[in-house]
Amino acid sequence: AEFEMILTETQGCAGIIRLNRPKALNALCDQLMDELAQALRAFDSDPAIAAIVLTGNEKAFAAGADIREMQPRSWPGTYLNDFIAPWEAVLTVRKPVIGAVAGFALGGGCEVAMMCDILLAADTAKFGQPEIKLGILPGAGGSQRLTRAIGKSKAMEMILTGRMMDAAEAERTGLVSRVVPADTLVEEAVSLAQRIGEHSRAGVAMAKEAVNAAFELPLREGVRLERRLFLSAFGTPDQQEGMAAFNEKRKPNFGG
């Protein structure tokens, strides 16, 4: 596909998507989000790809939904033509999505980052939900995902004041898994994707599904889902191969 607002490439089994609207700090307009959804779907269905890296540029992952595009919108048009609905494409990807944030991840940018399965931050990253300053509130899951990630008091403070959080605070509060130097961010994310790609595809997909269930299900139901997935993993050739390789003291060669 031909894209104008994103760049895609592959490095081995890693599919890389770069948001590329630098003049607007990667503001997430409708076209960009459509292109992102298409690119995610293409990598998700490409058997050569094991995991996806989603990143921006050194100044911004994304500074939010496009304020210029949103300004003329009014209700009930917003309700009848829900412009946030296409954003959910990020959530339906079955392969792991690694968000790699340098610079601003604000508003909808922070929300898209939080839709990723693993978040890496450059030391330059700044996260925030500044919607309150525009007379609105987070609308793509920010009030829910930020609260689950960093707890009520800090999420409330961030969302009610619109202040930004730096990379160190994001790591300390558990919003991101790791902080790395800005000039190695994409490299680190790609190597993480490739490390994931060495494992069983089915095992990885099931593990992602199980972890995500922790955000949707009561504990008992989540544990039941995990148990069913775990027991069904014994139907995969990769379980045979993984355990045989361990017992034969060799590296596994996963193909399933």
Give the residue from 10, 63, 58, 73 showing the smallest Cα distance to 32. Answer: 63
Q: Which is nearer to ligand HXC, 12 or 86 (CB)?
A: 86
CB 77 within 8 A of CB 69: no
Q: Return the active site residues.
A: 65, 108, 111, 131
Q: Which is nearer to ligand HXC, 16 or 27 (CB)?
A: 27
List interacting residues with ligand HXC (CB under 6 A). Answer: 24-25, 27, 63-68, 84, 104, 106-108, 130-131, 134, 138-140
CB of 89 to ligand HXC, least distance (A): 13
CB of 109 to ligand HXC, least distance (A): 7
What are the phi and psi torsion angles at 51 (to 5°)? -155, 160
Give the residue from 167, 168, 159, 185 showing the smallest Cα distance to 126. Answer: 167
CB 140 within 8 A of CB 191: no
- In the sheet that holds 118-122, the strands lie side by side as 6-11, 14-19, 51-55, 97-101, 118-122, 178-180
CB of 27 to ligand HXC, least distance (A): 3
CB of 140 to ligand HXC, least distance (A): 4
Give the residue from 151, 33, 8, 136 showing the smallest Cα distance to 91. Answer: 33
CB of 71 to ligand HXC, least distance (A): 9
Q: Is the dihedral of CA 24, 20, 124, 84 positive or negative?
A: positive
CA distance 132 to 217: 30
Classified as helix, coil or strand, 60 is strand
Q: Which is nearer to ligand HXC, 35 or 131 (CB)?
A: 131
What are the phi and psi torsion angles at 145 (to 5°)? -70, -40
Q: Which is nearer to ligand HXC, 163 or 224 (CB)?
A: 163
